[in-house]
Amino acid sequence: MIIDSAVYRHGARLPVDCPPQDYATLRAQAKEHGDFVWVGLHEPGEAELKRVADAFGLHRLAVDDAVAAHQRPKLERYGDHLFLILKTLWYIDEQDAVETGEISMFVGSDFVITVRHGEGGALHSARHHLEQRSQVLTHGPSAVVYAVCDSVVDAYAQVIEALQEDVDEVEESVFSPTRSDDAVRIYTLKREIAEVRRAVLPLREPMRRFASGTVPGMDEGAAPFFRDVADHLARDAETIDGLDSLLSTAFDAYIARISVQQNDDMRKISAGVGLVAAPTLIAGIYGMNFEHMAGLDWSLGYPITLLLMALSSGVLWVFFKKSGWL
C-alpha cells in the first residue's frame, strides 16, 4: 500500500490537490527545475507497482526485483534512472534473532520511489527529519537517497550494539566458574552475525560510488553526506568481523573448558573407584573361605580387618586430595 507521496520544491513540501495514488498528476506537479516527487510504498502488489512503473517509466527488470524482495544490496542503472536495494535490520533480543527486510529505491531526475518490505526500516521518521532540513532537501532526489541510506545504516549500528551485548554475555558465561551450555547460543549468534554481514558488506560498494560523486544523476554536492554514511558502514563492517572472531574464540574456549571439565570428572571418578577398591580387595581376600587363613582364630582379627580397610581408604583419600583429584 502507499504510505506517503509528496512533491518538493526548493527544499519544501508543496500542497497537492490530488489523491496519493494519482501518480501521473503528482509527477505533473513537479514542473520547475529541481522539483521532484517522493512516493513511499510498503509491500505493494504487482498491480500497484505496475501503475507506479507506468507513471514514472520504471524498467521492468527493476520492478520485478522490487516485487520479489529477495535481492542482495546493489546499485544499478536502468536508462535514465537508478535502482538501489538496501537490506533493513532489526533485532529481537528475546530470541537472539536478527530480522531482515528490504528497501528498493527508484531514483530519477524528478522522482524517488521507495518500496519497503518487512516491519523494519520505516521511513516516516526519515522523511520527517529530512523535511526539517530544507538545505539538505534542496539537493533533490540525492537528499532522499542519503536520508534513507543514513536511516538504514543507523539501524545497523543499533543491531550491532545489541549483538555486542549478547556476545559479552556469552564471553562472561564461558569463562564463569559455573558450568553452562553455551554452544547453541554461540552458533545462533554466529548465524545472526552472518545475516548482518550479508546486509552490510555488499552495501559498501554503492556507498563508495555515491561518496566519490561519480554516479550519474546524483548531485555531486551530496557526496560529503554519503562519505559520512560510508564511514559508518565501514565501522560496522569492522565491528561485525570483530564480533565473529570473538565468538569463534569463545567457542574454542568453551570446547577446551568442556575437555578440562571431563578430565576433572574422570579424575574424580578414578579417585572414587580407588577409595572403594582397597577395602574391596581386603574384603575379597577374607571372603575366600580357606581353612588356613591368618587371623581366623584371633578374636581381634575382625575389628583389625575393618580398621585396615578404613585406614587404606583414608590414606588414598589424603593422597587424592593433595593431588587435586578430589
Q: How far is CA 48 from the centre of its chain?
A: 32
Give, rounded to a whole angstrom, the gap between the first and last alpha carbons of the chain.
69
Looking at the fold, whether 151 and 129 belong to one and the same domain comes out as: yes
User: Which of the four pLDDT bands, split at 50, 70 and 90, describes residue 325?
Assistant: low
Looking at the fold, whether 124 and 273 belong to one and the same domain comes out as: no
User: Which of the four pLDDT bands, split at 50, 70 and 90, describes residue 33?
Assistant: confident
Looking at the fold, whether 200 and 112 belong to one and the same domain comes out as: yes
Burial zone of 165 (CB within 10 Å; 0-12 exposed, 13-18 middle, 19+ buried):
exposed
Residue 110 gets which letter from DSSP?
Answer: S
Radius of gyration of the chain (CA): 35
Looking at the fold, whether 159 and 273 belong to one and the same domain comes out as: no
Looking at the fold, whether 286 and 173 belong to one and the same domain comes out as: no
Looking at the fold, whether 253 and 270 belong to one and the same domain comes out as: no
Instruction: Identify the residue with better confidence: 236 or 318.
Output: 236
Looking at the fold, whether 222 and 308 belong to one and the same domain comes out as: no
Q: Name 85's bridge partners.
A: 74, 104
At 290, phi and psi to the nearest 5?
-75, 150
Nearest in space to 87 (alpha carbons), one of 117, 129, 57: 117
When mean pLDDT is compared over 135-139, 183-187, 298-302, the highest value belongs to 183-187
Looking at the fold, whether 294 and 243 belong to one and the same domain comes out as: no
Q: Which of 203, 238, 257 is the last residue of a domain?
A: 257
Number of other CB atoms surrounding residue 143 within 10 Å: 25
Q: What is the CATH number of the domain that holds 37?
A: 3.30.460.20
**Tally of structural domains, the chain:** 2
Q: Which of 221, 237, 257 is the last residue of a domain?
A: 257
Residue 221 clears pLDDT 90, i.e. is over it = no
Q: Name 82's bridge partners.
A: 77, 107
CA distance 84 to 58: 13
CA distance 59 to 76: 11
Give me the mean pLDDT over the 15-35 stretch.
Answer: 81
CA distance 164 to 167: 5
pLDDT of residue 77: 92
Instruction: Identify the residue with better confidence: 280 or 39.
Output: 39
Query: Would you tell me the crossing angle of helices 141-174 and 204-212 to the nearest 10 degrees?
Result: 140
Number of other CB atoms surrounding residue 304 within 10 Å: 12
Q: Which region, left, alpha or beta, applies to residue 96 given φ > 0 means left and ψ of -120 to 50 means alpha?
A: left
What is the average pLDDT value for the chain, to the nearest integer?
Answer: 83
Looking at the fold, whether 248 and 313 belong to one and the same domain comes out as: no
CA within 13 Å, CB half, 180: 19
Looking at the fold, whether 191 and 238 belong to one and the same domain comes out as: yes
Number of other CB atoms surrounding residue 37 within 10 Å: 24
Q: Which of 237, 257, 277 is the last residue of a domain?
A: 257
Looking at the fold, whether 271 and 180 belong to one and the same domain comes out as: no
- β-strands 81-92, 97-107 pairing: antiparallel
pLDDT in tens, 228-281: 999 999 999 999 999 999 999 888 888 877 776 666 667 676 666 666 666 776
Q: What is the CATH number of the domain that holds 279?
A: 1.20.58
Give me the mean pLDDT over the 145-174 stretch.
Answer: 90
**Full residue range of the structural domain in which residue 92 is found:** 2-257
Looking at the fold, whether 220 and 276 belong to one and the same domain comes out as: no
CA within 13 Å, CB half, 197: 13
Residue 289 gets which letter from DSSP?
Answer: -
